[in-house]
């Protein structure tokens, strides 16, 4: 065999797996045909966060007036933002490639395809490997409605030639609410269209309600309980028709309607790798596919599609195969954040999930963050703990508000360590912060449980 391990895909999962395996002394090859660092670095988390930061600066400048500054935001230069973002992404992109190179992995800037279970075609070269990892990620999917070709997906949003003045975003998931904040913050008339009563299905109800209020306060027009039926071209832009008969004239229509596993054209059938109903690669708890020496990691397995999960999986697999440290990745209590404006961060169970299993004590606090008592901006922070009544264990923590993701990482450590509400209560607060609210939540808001409470 040419390699001990061949990794298809140079994203978060693949690069980590290849790098750590090479560090353990394995002969490693990695193929990537688009961009090193994958979705997260190039057309996902990282550039998205730059755009969110850009969007926040406008309101920060406005808010400074409340503190005596004679400031106003002025015009925003979209091209300057995209150029600055692209420069940074190129730097990161090169770092990812270099990390692998320095670890001793052989790099292929090419597409890989299975010929059989141990043989790949990598950019026209035949390569054999003892073990193979599929880490090809996912891609954004749109809807099959008339005129769908007139809409963009998130890949395109990072390279728009100019900032649209009127935007319709379809989908109320992570990407939909994040880009709604970006476009609205940069000055566009922004419509968010989703088929649920509230955005972010699966998140805690108090967060979802608070987010809908916050998006409205930011000037975003919400269209709940509707689906788009068609998109047509007009003389000035696009017209999107909704199931409630609304017609919206906009410059940009954006599908943020989910992502699918990137498995097409990989020759997986030649290798005998089994796929699930949605085209995802099926794996066991040690990332093995239906073919024991072929593994799959990250978004291509469509389980918990988050970068830190993908990197943890890549690391665990490399340690298992070549580092004499066999392990999987525990997907309980994985913290996550939605970089809406303001953001949401969460760890553990929602009230509804926890209440299915037993009685839970609910603590909710909703308040105006200190800063906005001077700025006058209408923006609330919502903090919530879900506590098991029997054991006092904190089962879930949720924040909607400025700095929520920064706060949540530390809370996630406490919850991973099994903290109880009493542990939160005996922790001294840091004053004056929003975070201190978590250790001063004394008044129980309600009790929930099977058949009890609002859920």
- The contact set with ligand NDP (CB under 6 A) reads 143, 171-176, 178, 194-196, 201, 227, 256-259, 305-306, 336-339
Instruction: Name the DSSP class of 36.
Output: T
Spatial distance between the Cα atoms of 196 and 378, rounded to a whole number of angstroms: 25
Letter string b/e over residues 117-145, b meaning 16 or more CB atoms within 10 A of that residue's CB: ebbbbbeeeebebebbbbbbbbbbebeeb
Instruction: Provide the token pair at 12.
Output: 């978060």
Which region holds residue 359: left if phi is over 0, alpha if psi is between -120 and 50, else beta? beta
Pick between residue 280 and residue 319 the one whose CB is nearest to ligand NDP. Answer: 280
Pick between residue 103 and residue 143 the one whose CB is nearest to ligand NDP. Answer: 143
Contact 401, 342 (CB under 8 A): yes
Spatial distance between the Cα atoms of 119 and 8, rounded to a whole number of angstroms: 12
Identify the CA nearest to 140 among candidates 162, 170, 111.
Answer: 170
Distance in Å, CB of 363 to ligand NDP, minimum: 25
**Interhelix angle 45-64/78-103, nearest 10 degrees:** 140
Pick between residue 218 and residue 257 the one whose CB is nearest to ligand NDP. Answer: 257
Pick between residue 46 and residue 132 the one whose CB is nearest to ligand NDP. Answer: 46
Chain centroid to CA 58: 24
Spatial distance between the Cα atoms of 46 and 42, rounded to a whole number of angstroms: 7
Distance in Å, CB of 256 to ligand NDP, minimum: 5
Distance in Å, CB of 360 to ligand NDP, minimum: 24
Residue whose token pair is 């760890």 = 347
Residue tagged active-site, from 76, 118, 315, 431: 431
Distance in Å, CB of 133 to ligand NDP, minimum: 20
**Burial of 116 per CB tally in 10 Å (0-12, 13-18, 19+):** exposed
Pick between residue 108 and residue 183 the one whose CB is nearest to ligand NDP. Answer: 183
Contact 169, 250 (CB under 8 A): no
Contact 421, 439 (CB under 8 A): no
Distance in Å, CB of 234 to ligand NDP, minimum: 23
Distance in Å, CB of 141 to ligand NDP, minimum: 8
Pick between residue 21 and residue 180 the one whose CB is nearest to ligand NDP. Answer: 180
Residue nearest to ligand NDP (CB): 173
Pick between residue 127 and residue 200 the one whose CB is nearest to ligand NDP. Answer: 200
**Burial of 68 per CB tally in 10 Å (0-12, 13-18, 19+):** exposed
Identify the CA nearest to 282 among candidates 265, 261, 266, 264.
Answer: 261
Distance in Å, CB of 388 to ligand NDP, minimum: 26
431 is an active site residue? yes
Q: Supply the residues annotated as catalytic.
A: 431
């Amino acid at each position: 065999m040419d390699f001990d391990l061949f990794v298809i895909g140079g994203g978060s999962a693949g690069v980590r797996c290849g790098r750590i395996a090479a560090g353990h002394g394995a002969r490693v090859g990695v193929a990537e045909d688009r961009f090193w660092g994958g979705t997260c670095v190039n057309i996902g988390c990282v550039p998205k966060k730059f755009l969110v930061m850009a969007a926040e600066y406008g309101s920060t400048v406005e808010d400074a007036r409340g503190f005596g500054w004679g400031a106003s935001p002025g015009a925003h230069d979209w091209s300057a933002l995209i150029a600055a973002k692209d420069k940074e992404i190129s730097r990161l992109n090169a770092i990812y490639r270099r990390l692998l190179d320095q670890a001793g992995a052989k790099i292929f800037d090419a597409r890989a395809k299975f010929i059989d279970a141990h043989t790949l075609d990598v950019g026209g070269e035949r390569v054999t490997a003892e073990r193979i990892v599929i880490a090809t990620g996912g891609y954004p999917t749109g809807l099959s409605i008339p005129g769908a070709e007139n809409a963009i997906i998130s890949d395109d949003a990072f390279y728009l030639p100019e900032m649209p003045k009127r935007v319709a975003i379809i989908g109320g998931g992570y990407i939909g609410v994040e880009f709604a904040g970006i476009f609205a913050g940069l000055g566009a008339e922004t419509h968010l269209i989703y088929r649920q009563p509230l955005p972010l299905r699966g998140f805690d109800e108090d967060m979802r309600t608070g987010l809908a209020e916050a998006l409205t306060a930011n000037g975003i027009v919400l269209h709940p309980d509707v689906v788009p039926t068609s998109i047509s071209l007009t003389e000035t832009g696009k017209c999107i028709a909704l199931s409630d008969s609304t017609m919206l004239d906009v410059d940009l229509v954006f599908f943020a309607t989910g992502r699918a596993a990137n498995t097409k054209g990989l020759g997986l059938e030649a290798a005998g790798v089994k796929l699930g109903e949605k085209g995802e690669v099926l794996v066991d708890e040690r990332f093995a596919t239906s073919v024991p020496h072929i593994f799959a990691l990250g978004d291509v397995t469509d389980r918990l599609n988050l970068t830190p999960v993908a990197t943890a999986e890549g690391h665990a697999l490399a340690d298992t195969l070549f580092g004499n440290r066999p392990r999987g990745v525990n997907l309980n209590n994985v913290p996550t954040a939605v970089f809406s404006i303001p953001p949401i961060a969460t760890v553990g169970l929602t009230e509804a999930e926890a209440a299915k299993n037993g009685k839970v004590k609910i603590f909710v606090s909703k308040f105006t963050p200190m800063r906005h008592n001077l700025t006058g901006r209408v923006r609330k922070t919502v903090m919530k703990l879900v506590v098991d009544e029997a054991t006092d264990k904190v089962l879930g923590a949720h924040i909607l508000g400025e700095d929520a993701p920064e706060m949540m990482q530390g809370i996630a450590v406490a919850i991973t360590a099994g903290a109880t509400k009493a542990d939160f209560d005996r922790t001294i607060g840091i004053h004056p912060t929003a975070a201190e609210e978590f250790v001063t939540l004394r008044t129980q808001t309600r009790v929930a449980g099977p058949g009890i409470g609002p859920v």
